[in-house]
Structure 1
Amino acid sequence: MTPGNNGASTPEDDDPFGYLYADGQANGATPPSGGGGYGYPGSVNRVRAVGERQYGQQQPGYGQQAPTAQYGQQAAPTAQYGQVPQQGAYGQPNAHYAAPETVPGGAPTGRQPSGGGGGRGRGPNTKGLLIGAIAVVAAVVIGIGVAMMNGNANDKSKDTAGGGSTPSASESASPSASASQSAPAGALPKIDAKALNLDGGTSLASDIKGAKADGGVYVTGFNHVGAKVTWTVNGIQNAGDFRLYARYSIPGADANATLSVNGKANSQPLGLKNFIGSPKGDYEKGWQSTWGPVTLNKGTNVIEISCNEGNQCDALFDQLWLE
């Protein structure tokens, strides 16, 4: 600026609207026209013209000076006074103006949109989070309720067990039905040959091997009419039908005898057959067992095995037992 009255005396007096006042008009201030400045003639244009910053134009880096128009060059055209700048199409950027936040390196915005695209931003799925939280709370409440119910049940059972209550008659230490029906083997009486009562010429011997009675003793001399062995059975707890088992030996030939209980003979003889097929004449290999039905009274009973008319009595006896 050259000496003289070419404008405001100082930059702070450079009033762009000086043409509106009388003193400004006296100093030569004129309204803006064309592409030049406005205010005092030749005044320093300290305001950046609208549209000087182009859309998408790279901004200077930190510490670098932005390029400005050279002295004497015309600045970017501006809208005339009273005119409305031309707007672009809806949704398109204005070529003469760009917001600082849309330009690379411009000022960051205080709030970033959460959604994408041109639509309205969507927030987090709070409905799903709320449903999940409710489900977790419900599961915890149910678990606590179940635990409390189980605890109450356990307490009740402990009170019953520790209260000194006695079991009922049906819960007493009585054996079950299956246990009472299956008596242990050998519970009924058993007798060896030397404990029998011998009559009619019978006697004891032990020279033939294979007898299981104590000491290998057996009854011999039974092979004639009138021979008899008697067993007095004590301790029968319940009356009923039983089986009388007899262990005997024959010389490879069938035999039989008369079985009597309490003085009454059975209708069928006691069979002393050669069930194992032992060789003839060999007593040692002829040891085997047979049985006959007997009906016993409670208490004491008398069982007799005798050789009567019509019997084949060539046999040895070593043991008798009941089942």
Structure 2
Amino acid sequence: MTPGSNGASTPEDDDPFGYLYADGQANGAQPPSGGYGYPNSVNRVRPVGTRQYGQQAPAPQAPPQQGTYGQPAAHYAAPETLPGGATTTPSHQPSHGGGGRGRGPNTKGLLIGAVAVVAAVVVGISVAMLSGDGEDDKSGNQADASPTQSQESSEPSPSASSGDEEEEAAELPTIDAKALRLGGNAALASDVEGAQSDGGIYVTNLNQPGSTVTWTVDGIPKDGAYTVFVRYSTTDEPQSMTLTVNGKEFGNKLNMDNFAHAKDGDFSKGWTKTFAWPTLNKGTNTISVSCNDGDKCNVLLDQLWLKEGQVKK
């Protein structure tokens, strides 16, 4: 081939893809037999414009029509489903529950699992603590379960000194009428029923000035406040007598009211008691009940007794 000469062949013959163009086809260009010019090619290409896209391709088996989000419609076929296309495995999208929407993680199950773990931890700690307490009990470190005095009652202790430890109250004596020393017109009798002293004996004739009963009591355990009780009977209006302790009159009259509400002079129905809170000395003390000027003394008297502290019964 010389300059200016195109030779025997035309450009369409030199261009292996000349058959794809209209001018090449007009000049007789033909596609190679091997397809794209490569030997043993199995794919056969068509000239531009000759492929019919409206032809119905064999439809692959489409998945069932789903009316939910994320699933292909029945009339749609992906390119991969066409002959010669790549075979893909459709991914499974989990359902989210109602409405066909996607379903997320099972948060309710996770929450239940977390609660179960926490409960197991709490039970384990409780068991460990209980077992630890049991070991302490075996080692002799168990606290005393008996209540203290302050736990048993919120009332103040009747002892004279609140700072001292409370001692067990000593058994204090009781005296009957026949053991009392009588003075003035006081006398013993047993006609009226209801007296608790030995033999049902009581002191009468105390309603005259100068009449008195005296009790010399031994064995007082310590100095301090005590309660002296007097058992008597009356049927009249409120009575009052003089209490003398160790030769000194007590600050108030001994109140001997008709607490039993006896009527019509029935002394058998009028038995009751009264009390006062004197201060006694350790050892021996003298206690007297007397009818002085201005006192009202129409009573029968049968017993006297003591209790430690200021109590009412």
- Cα gap change, 1:131 to 1:250, in 2 (>3 Å): closer
Unaligned runs of 5+ in 2: 1-47, 77-89, 96-101, 159-167
AA partner of residue 149 (structure 2): S
SS at match of 1:128: coil
- Of 169, 172, 177, the match for 2:150: 177
Are residues 1:123 and 2:79 paired?
no
- Of 44, 48, 53, the match for 1:87: 53
In the TM superposition, residue 317 of structure 1 has moved relative to its aligned partner by 0.4
2:236–2:298 Cα contact (<8 Å) kept: no
Are residues 1:147 and 2:126 paired?
no
What is the rounded CA distance, in whole Å, between the counterparts of 1:285 and 1:115 in structure 2? 106
1:115–1:121 Cα contact (<8 Å) kept: no
AA partner of residue 123 (structure 1): Q
In the TM superposition, residue 210 of structure 1 has moved relative to its aligned partner by 3.3
**What is aligned with 1:306?**
290
- Of 232, 248, 264, the match for 1:248: 232
Unaligned runs of 5+ in 1: 1-81, 103-108
Are residues 1:216 and 2:200 paired?
yes
In the TM superposition, residue 128 of structure 1 has moved relative to its aligned partner by 3.1
Q: Deviating runs (4+, > 6 A) in structure 1? A: 111-114, 182-187
- Cα gap change, 1:116 to 1:242, in 2 (>3 Å): farther
**What is aligned with 1:10?**
none
- Cα gap change, 1:149 to 1:287, in 2 (>3 Å): closer
Larger Rg: 1
In the TM superposition, residue 201 of structure 1 has moved relative to its aligned partner by 4.8
**What is aligned with 2:246?**
262
Written as runs of structure 1 = structure 2, the 5 A alignment for 1:1-323 is 84=50, 86-88=52-54, 94=56, 98-99=58-59, 101=61, 115-117=71-73, 123-124=93-94, 128-129=104-105, 135=111, 138-165=114-141, 175-179=148-152, 181=156, 189-237=173-221, 239-250=223-234, 252=236, 255-274=239-258, 278-279=262-263, 281-322=265-306, 323=311
In the TM superposition, residue 260 of structure 1 has moved relative to its aligned partner by 0.8
Instruction: Provide, for residues 267-321 of structure 1, a one-character-per-residue CA deviation record: whole Å limited to 9, x for no partner.
Output: 4433444566654654344444433442222444321112345544332102324
- Cα gap change, 1:233 to 1:153, in 2 (>3 Å): same
What is the rounded CA distance, in whole Å, between the counterparts of 1:272 and 1:131 in structure 2? 83
- Cα gap change, 1:179 to 1:229, in 2 (>3 Å): farther
What is the rounded CA distance, in whole Å, between the counterparts of 1:300 and 1:99 in structure 2? 129
- Cα gap change, 1:281 to 1:101, in 2 (>3 Å): closer
In the TM superposition, residue 134 of structure 1 has moved relative to its aligned partner by 5.5
AA partner of residue 291 (structure 1): F
SS at match of 2:178: helix
What is the rounded CA distance, in whole Å, between the counterparts of 1:314 and 1:133 in structure 2? 91
What is the rounded CA distance, in whole Å, between the counterparts of 1:163 and 1:239 in structure 2? 44
Instruction: Provide, for residues 161-192 of structure 1, a one-character-per-residue CA deviation record: whole Å limited to 9, x for no partner.
Output: 1113375xxx5967322547567999765443
AA partner of residue 148 (structure 1): G
What is the rounded CA distance, in whole Å, between the counterparts of 1:151 and 1:275 in structure 2? 62
**What is aligned with 2:44?**
none
SS at match of 2:141: coil
2:208–2:297 Cα contact (<8 Å) kept: yes
2:136–2:142 Cα contact (<8 Å) kept: no
2:193–2:268 Cα contact (<8 Å) kept: yes
2:234–2:300 Cα contact (<8 Å) kept: yes
Identity %: 37
Q: How many residues align?
A: 227
